[in-house]
Amino acid sequence: MKINGLVVVTGGTSGIGLALVGLLARARTRVLTCSRHREQLDTLMRLHPGVEGRVVNVGDPAAVDHFAREAANAPGLVGLINNAAGQDNLSLAD
C-alpha cells in the first residue's frame, strides 16, 4: 500500500529500519532515511532509487538537529519512524 507523502525512517541501513525502508520503497512511498554509514546509504539508494539518505551520527546533537529540521521542513511529510534504539542521551524536549 502506497503512502502519499514522505516518511522519515531513522537508522534505515540495517535491521528493522532497513526492512521498513524496503517495504515503503517497494510500495513507492517517498522515504528519507539516515545512517552513520555512507557506503550503506549509497547501496540502499542504488537498490531503491526513490529513497533519499543522509549521513547522521546520532551521537552528535548538531547533526541530529540539522537532520530533524530538514525532515520537519520537507514537503509532504506524513510520518516519522524513529529507529534509534538505545540512543537516549537527548530528552524528548530537545
Per domain, the residue ranges of the chain are: 27-81
This prediction's pTM? 0.83
3-class state of residue 55 by DSSP:
strand
* Range 34-57 average pLDDT: 94
> Where does the pLDDT of residue 4 fall: very low under 50, low under 70, confident under 90, or very high at 90 and above?
confident
Higher pLDDT, 74 or 3: 74
Dist. CA 89–CA 37, nearest whole Å: 20
Query: Are 33 and 53 spatial neighbours (Cβ–Cβ below 8 Å)?
Result: yes
Q: Is a pLDDT exceeding 70 seen at residue 93?
A: no
What pLDDT is recorded for position 86? 53
* Range 43-56 average pLDDT: 94
